Structure 1
Amino acid sequence: MTPEPCAATPTRRRAYWHTLLSVAVLIVAGYLARRHWPVLATGAARLAHADHGWLLVAATAVTATWVCAALAQQGAVPPSLPAGRLVAAQFAASAANHVLPAGLGASAVNWRFLVRSGLPASRAASALAVKAAAATAVRAVLITALALACPGVLRPPQVSGGRLALAAAVTVALVLALVPLWRRCRPALTGVLADVRTVHARPHRAAALWGGSLAFAGLHAVALIAVAQAVALPLPPARVALLYLAASSLAALLPTPGGLGSLDAALALALTATGAPAAAAASAVLGYRLLTVWLPLIPGLLVLAVLVRRRAL
């Protein structure tokens, strides 16, 4: 019997290219870290003498983000989910997200949790899409509002007429290339829109979805603001929040695990480009990443293992 072609080949191919790009980004990040090592060392020393009160505020904000992620995930599905396990799944998902590229870890953990909670596989995937769409919309609104409150911070690059025409041609080519993809994905998008209508037919679910998404993004910004205050970063809080939202949205385009390397570089560049000293910016980024990635990583992986063992995932 001739074996059938493996349907997972395109997925494996995408995972291969994601991994290759992740490795490339990490190599570049390592090169930049080695080149600017004196600045990083000074930033680490500055973080060691940071204000502990502000660091406690940052740690509290980071802890609350997992509750907000659980709230948003509950808002994306009509049936009620077990609250305790849902929060634990978000904590585990954040750890898995820093192991696999491009957010695949968090998506896999949440999808598996929803399926184990009784949702069909297609509905679980739609729930993740609904949550992601709400998070993207919330970030866009926050960036727009903060950009209006802090004029001149996000300045569009100066583009010549030739480059503008080239960008327009590339955009048109991309749109034309996406037309066949749109036709193939149309049934799935129809299902997502149906789930959006179902969720918004229940006001308490819609409030959880949008409120959790807003609080999640806002608390991450608060965490960076608190770390910036702890290391005496000379930038207004609103500007720090705007730079965080813009830099993290840009870093999400690169499929590194948890934005490792890409988010660090984007945040440091954004802070220094708006007037912060390099050592203070490095200290703020190191403190933020320590609280959001390195300290919760091992406990998160342990929670993930416990959830798998108890068949919650």
Structure 2
Amino acid sequence: MAGSLLQPLTRRTSDIVRVVVATVVLVAVVVTSLVTRGEWEALERSVSDIVGVLSPGVSNVVYIVYGVSILALPFTILIGLIGARRWKLLGGFVAAAFLAAFALSISGTGLSAPNWHIDESTRIDTLLSQFLDDPRWIAIVAAVLTVSGPGLPTKWRRTWWTLLLAFIPIHLVVSTVVPARSLLGLVVGWLTGAVVVWVVGTPALEVPLASAVRVLDRRGISVTSFTVLSPAGRGPLVLSAASDDATPEVVVELYGLNQRSGGALSQGWRVATFRPSETAPLHASLQRAVEHRALMSIAIGDLALAASTPLAVASLERGWMLYAHSAARGELLEPERGSDVHAVWRSLGELHSRQISHGDLRAAELRVSEGTATFDGFGAAELGATDAQLQSDVAQLLLTTAAIYGDGPSVTAAVDTLGEDVVLAASGRLTRAAIPRRVRSAVPEAKKVMTTVRDTVLDRTGATSITTEKVTRFTRNQIIQLVLLFALVYVAYPFFSAVPTFVTELGSIDWRWAAAGLAVSALTYVGAAAALWACASGLVSFKNLTIMQVANTFAATTTPAGVGGLALSVRFLQKGGLGVTRATAAVALQQSMQVITHVTLLVLFSVVAGTSAELTKFVPDPTVLYLISGVALGVLGTVLFVPTLRRWLRTAVRPQLAEVTRDLLELARDPRRFLLIVLGCGATTLGAAFALWVSIEAFGGGTTFVTVTVVTMIGGTLASAAPTPGGVGAVEAALIGGLAAFGLPASIAVPSVLLYRVLTCWLPVFLGWPTLRWLGKKEMI
């Protein structure tokens, strides 16, 4: 035997899944026990009353019989391991028992030792109660059974697990132990045993080479030695079998327990994430999957397109499966043999003409022999393949052959063989989601190669664009929208809690002022659109840009710091025809002008209001200001002294600031455009202030527009630093506090601010969700 048969810990899929499931169950048991702690004793009394038909004598008999069985179980397994001299498994047995007992012995005061005194018991039922009433014993039994279970006969393993699980219901009848403690011991033991199995291993990991030799011998293949070609991991353990006679080389693939679980998880993931047409029928077991591969090899072999011939398929001991086939014939694809690319595409065309897809067209699965291309693998092959699977084959082979021969020869050979329409349609699958990861991983710089192949297909076919094929159930935009929707529900919760108070105050509202506030709120979107339209030099539709501002409110409110709104604006400008740099610069310019206009108006209205003394109520405590200044200076010093951050400041931040400055200087030389941007930014700021003033008037008034403007700008600025999306909670608190500081009664300030937020935030947010989806359907974002 040459090579290692050991499977790395990261590839023991079954063991990892067992540990994860045991951890989840343990967390569930602990949480439910804490929540329902007071209900367990009542449950035990209720069940005891229902099943209390057993007499004390019969209860003692049940207790003794079950107790003897559960007490003898670990010792029976221990004796069996010693007799069979399975020392490695014995080490795992002892380690699992010790760790399970140790885990449940930890208490708030330290370690609590078990009180098991065999010599002090005068009756057998009192002796057994020391063990049965202690959850540490059930943990020990569960741990050792988990470790040794794979090495036990199936009948004994199932019987003992049934006996072990009966521990909990029996306690409801004949014991005083709270069932939650028994359940906790059972789960802790299972988790401990699962971890030990993962680290130490189980008999199922032992490769049944002797059984494989016997199976091959019955097929007339006498094996003298094995050489490991590929260790077990994501795929099977691949061995090369050698013999003394003239028998050709035989390749043996062995699939174990972990390949079975990994395949099941992979199939489940594809079913959950990919559309049904993209997913092959599920295999009910590992045996069916291996048999399917062998049958597909036979079917493709009948077309003289298979590079190998199946020789044996058999079930081995401990759940292993064997698949033996001849060594692949022919030579791998080489760039020097440029004519082979046409042979490969001709063979794929022949395969597709029989409605057969391959599904795994990596370079390692392609051979050329005497001018004919053949295939190997067939693990993902399908007979009666769908159009989606056939197109996937074409996309995979475009990627693989382009990496070997170049995109030009590959696309030319594909078009000459399959036709322009087929190649153009399949090119829509040259994406990360549509190309399987195993195929992409086999191609260096796969993303770059896919891009160049798509461009070459456009040039070769004369098409104007390639429609990207949707292969997953959920697109990236749908996932983002779902996250935003959950975020909206989260940030809206504080508003919902204030709804009853707000509804009560609506009885005194003047609806004419409320309607005026709604109209003013709508005009702020026109102002924001005008400013951004002027910053983009009028290169996009002003009407669509105004509609986008409504969706922008939704994106900005449901993401912290409003980054969603900025990203949406950049994306809209890109779709409108601007480049990435130009779109980013336009949004940055608009934001810069918004800040400058906001500060200018704040200073102007503060002077007009004559409230310099009152403005100190908005200034934080000096300690907070000192702390902020210290943090800012620390950040600045870190940036200046760390070379990486200094380089980032020079290469990333400085060019952006220089570009914004340049845009501002150019803007100053264009008065009409400059005036439009200033008016748009001013309309946004003053429109929000006017909406709040109108909301106050709707509930009776009591302050001036100048005062409200100062409160809106200062309160909004302070609340913009809040970590909550859209400043929810912080905006309301800042505005209510600001109005109270200027003498407005709380009975008017609170409902006024709530009405203002409904008009300027929540109503546009709920309208923004369908608007965002409409923009997506129209491909404007």
Q: TM-score range by the shorter chain?
A: 0.7 to 0.9
1:306 aligns with 2:306: no
Aligned to 2:615: 154
Q: What is the percent sequence identity of the aligned residues?
A: 27
Offset from partner CA, 1:253-278 (integer Å, 9 cap, x none) = 12422221111111112122322222
Structure 2 SS opposite 1:118: coil
Aligned with residue 523 of structure 2, among 61, 64, 67: 64
What one-letter code is carried by the residue in structure 2 that aligns with 1:264?
Answer: E
Give matches, 1:155-304, under 5 Å: 155=616, 157=619, 169-179=630-640, 180=646, 182-183=649-650, 184-304=652-772
Amino acid at match of 2:615: L
Paired AA for residue 72 in structure 1: A
- Which amino acid is 1:56 matched to? A
Contact 1:68–1:213 under 8 Å retained in 2: yes
Deviation for aligned residue 1:288: 0.4
One-letter identity of the residue aligned with 1:308: G
Distance 1:237 1:172, change over 3 A: same
Corresponding position of 2:577: 118
Give me the whole-angstrom Cα distance separating, in 2, the residues matched to 1:226 and 1:279.
16
Query: Equivalents in 2 of 1:164, 1:199: separation in Å?
Result: 35
Distance (Å, rounded) in 2 between the aligned partners of 1:128 and 1:135: 10
Between the aligned partners of 1:167 and 1:88, the Cα distance in structure 2 is 39
2:540 is paired with a residue of what secondary structure? Answer: coil
Tell me, yes or no, if the aligned pair for 2:491 and 2:558 is still in contact at 8 Å: no
Contact 2:539 2:576 in 1 (8 A): no
* Residues 76 and 128, structure 1, Cα contact 8 Å, conserved in 2: yes
Report the 3-state secondary structure (helix = DSSP H, G, I; strand = E; otherwise coil) of the residue aligned with 2:763: helix
Provide the rounded CA distance (Å) in 1 between the counterparts of 2:496 and 2:766. Answer: 24
Contact 1:103 1:255 survives alignment (8 Å) = no
Alignment of 1:128 with 2:624, yes or no, is no
**Deviation digits for residues 197-230 of structure 1, max 9, x if unmatched?**
3334333221221110011101110000000111
Q: TM-score, normalised by structure 2?
A: 0.34
Note the C-alpha offset of 1:69.
0.6
How do residues 94-105 of structure 1 correspond to structure 2 at under 5 angstroms? 94-105=553-564
| Structure 2 gap ranges (5+) | 1-440, 446-483, 641-645
Q: Secondary structure at the match of 2:539?
A: coil
Instruction: Please list the CA deviations of residues 125-176 of structure 1 after superposition, one character each: whole Å capped at 9, or x if unmatched.
Output: 111111111111111111111211221331165967x887666544533432
User: Counterpart amino acid of 1:69?
Assistant: A
Cα distance in 2 for residues equivalent to 1:305 and 1:164: 43
Distance 1:96 1:191 in 2: 26
The 2-side partners of 1:101 and 1:165 are apart by 25
Instruction: Note if contact 2:550-2:765 (Cα within 8 Å) is conserved in structure 1.
Output: no
More displaced, 187-196 or 226-235? 187-196
How many Å separate the matches in 2 of 1:227 and 1:158? 27
1:81-96 to 2 correspondences below 5 Å: 81-96=540-555
Question: Which residue in the other structure is 1:137 paired with?
Answer: 596
Secondary structure of 1:154's counterpart equals helix
- The secondary structure found in structure 1 opposite 2:703 is coil
Conserved? CA contact 1:126–1:191, under 8 Å: yes
Q: What amino acid does structure 2 have at the position aligned with 1:294?
A: W
Of 211-220 and 297-306, deviating more is: 297-306
CA distance in 2, matches of 1:49, 1:153: 30
Distance in 2 (alpha carbons) for counterparts of 1:308 and 1:142: 36
Q: Shift in Å at residue 178 of structure 1?
A: 4.7
Q: Which has the higher helix share?
A: 1
**1:310 Cα deviation after fit:** 0.7
Task: Return the alpha-carbon distance in structure 1 between the equivalents of residues 747 and 657 of structure 2.
Answer: 46
Q: CA deviation at 1:95?
A: 2.0
* Conserved 8 A contact 1:267-1:285: yes
**Is the CA contact 1:75–1:207 (under 8 Å) kept in the aligned structure 2?**
no
Contact 1:272 1:278 (8 Å CA) reproduced: yes
Higher mean Cα deviation, 145-154 or 121-130? 145-154
Q: CA deviation at 1:33?
A: 9.5
**Cα distance change of structure 1 residues 233 and 43 upon mapping to structure 2, 3 Å threshold:** farther
Q: 1:123 to 1:155 in 2, by over 3 A?
A: same
Partner Cα separation in structure 2 for residue 116 and residue 185 of structure 1 = 25
Q: Is the 8 A contact 2:518 2:759 kept in 1?
A: yes
| Count of aligned pairs between the two proteins | 289
Structure 2: which amino acid aligns with 1:97?
Answer: A
Tell me how far apart the structure 1 counterparts of residues 710 and 514 of structure 2 sit (CA, whole Å). 20
Cα distance in 2 for residues equivalent to 1:260 and 1:205: 34
The CA RMSD over aligned residues, in Å, is 3.0
- CA shift, 1:88, in A, is 0.8
Query: What is the letter of the counterpart of residue 275 of structure 1?
Result: G
- Structure (1 or 2) with the larger CA radius of gyration: 2
In the TM superposition, residue 294 of structure 1 has moved relative to its aligned partner by 2.0
CA contact (8 A) 1:65 1:215 kept: yes
Match of 2:259 in 1: none
Higher relative contact order (CA 8 A, sep 6+): 1
Letter of the 1:218 partner, please give it: L
Q: 1:296 to 1:178 in 2, by over 3 A?
A: same
Structure-1 separation of matches of 2:625 and 2:546: 46
How far apart, in 2, do the equivalents of 1:96 and 1:198 lie?
30
Letter in 2 for 1:288: Y
Kept in 1: contact 2:536–2:586 (CA 8 A): yes
TM score, norm. by length of structure 1: 0.81
**62-71 or 175-184, larger mean C-alpha shift:** 175-184
Contact 1:98/1:257, CA 8 A, preserved across alignment: yes
Cα separation, 2, equivalents of 1:158 and 1:66: 32
